[in-house]
Amino acid sequence: MEVAGLTLAGGATFSCTYLLIRRTLLLAFSHKISTDILCDLSLKIVSSLQAIASFTIGKIIATACQGNIMIDRHWLSNSYAAFALPYFVYDVAAMYEVHYHQYKEIQKKPLLFGIQHFLRRNKAIMIHHIVLPIIFYPAIMLLRKGYGDFFVGIFYQIELAIPFIVFRGALAELNMKDTTLYVISGLLMIVTFTITRVAVFPYLYWKYSIHANISFWEVPWNIPIKCNVGCLIILVLQVYWLAVMVRGAVRVFYKMYIRRISKKSSTE
């Protein structure tokens, strides 16, 4: 009953926050910015707020479970998992609304056509939003049997990268791709993503090696196979997104280089 209540509360919180922010932005900027951008900015703000909450809660959990990283407990570990689960459903619905306003051709079509149109253009993020809760939620609530709250806290902290991703996306929406701020935000995004989403896995294995008094390389053979498989699947997703970010950064720097060369040639 408590879990169901937290899940319903989470769904209501994310949805109502999005609607409130969207309404506020519409009232303030309806004559300056298109509806699709306003909806997208609302989506990004909620994503940032969720990320900050997740990071803060994860920090509290990990800090409280430093004594014995396997058996120390914190009530927020399971509670936040139940509260945050509907975020993935809300996020898909909000992304669809953004998509609906971006593509005028689907607005006069049946709903099923619009959904198919949306899914075709967002395959990667859909896979991400399906795989993560399928792995994380059962692992946190059931499979770990109360062990490893410390690791749960660390995993919650991987959301730290989201505000940097969102900020860069917001700058792009506001046509600020040619600014120094956009470049700096992109670099910060890549650095934080690498640390919190990729390097976190070796860190977790290292922490367990210290706890179990074994070498780092022995860890995979001394933990349940489901832990290795789950970490591998999530890591593959994160490496994919990191590659997308790096590729985007390379394109930005290449365009800057071409513009600089062109400008230099025109002045000679």
Q: Which whole-number Å values give the CA distances from 243 to 194, 220, 236, 237, 262, in the listed order? A: 10, 25, 11, 10, 28
Q: Are 9 and 83 in contact (CB under 8 A)?
A: yes
pLDDT of residue 264: 64
Task: Specify the pLDDT at position 18.
Answer: 96
In one-letter notation, the amino acid at residue 259 is: R
**Which residues lie below 8 Å from residue 179, measured CB to CB, with a gap of 6+?**
171
For 147-160, what is the mean pLDDT?
92
Instruction: Give 128-152 pLDDT, tens digit per residue.
Output: 888 888 888 888 888 888 889 999 9
Contact between residue 236 and residue 202 where contact means Cβ atoms under 8 Å apart: no
The confidence band for 34, taking pLDDT boundaries of 50, 70 and 90, is: confident
Q: Fill in the amino acid letter for 166.
A: V
**Tens of pLDDT, residues 161-183:** 999 988 888 888 778 877 888 88
Q: What is the DSSP string of 59-104?
A: HHHHHHT-S-TTT---THHHHHHHHHHHHHHHHHHHHHHHHHHH-G
pTM of the predicted protein model: 0.86
In order of 6, 184, 224, 252, 254, the CA distances from 258 in angstroms are 52, 19, 51, 10, 6
Per-residue pLDDT reduced to its tens digit, 84-118: 999 999 999 999 999 999 888 888 888 889 889 99
Q: For the residues of 114-163, what is the DSSP string, one character each?
A: HHHHHHHH-HHHHHHHHHHHHHHHHIIIIITTT--HHHHHHHHGGGGGHH
At 236, list the tokens.
């593959």
Residues of the chain by 3-state class (helix, strand, coil), percent to 5:
85, 0, 15
pLDDT value at position 141? 86
What is the reported pLDDT for 265?
A: 64
pLDDT at residue 227, as a whole number: 86
Which two tokens mark 121? 């253009």
**What digits encode the pLDDT tens for the residues 225-255?**
888 988 898 899 899 989 999 998 888 787 7
For residue 174, what pLDDT is reported? 79
Whether the per-residue pLDDT at 268 is higher than 70: the answer is no
Residue 262 has pLDDT above 80, yes or no: no
Residue 219 has pLDDT above 70, yes or no: yes
Q: Which of 151, 173, 160, 133 is nearest to 68 (CA)?
A: 151
Residue span of the structural domain in which 237 resides: 2-267
Per-residue pLDDT tens digits for 37-63 = 899 999 999 999 999 999 999 999 999
**Number of domains, the chain:** 1
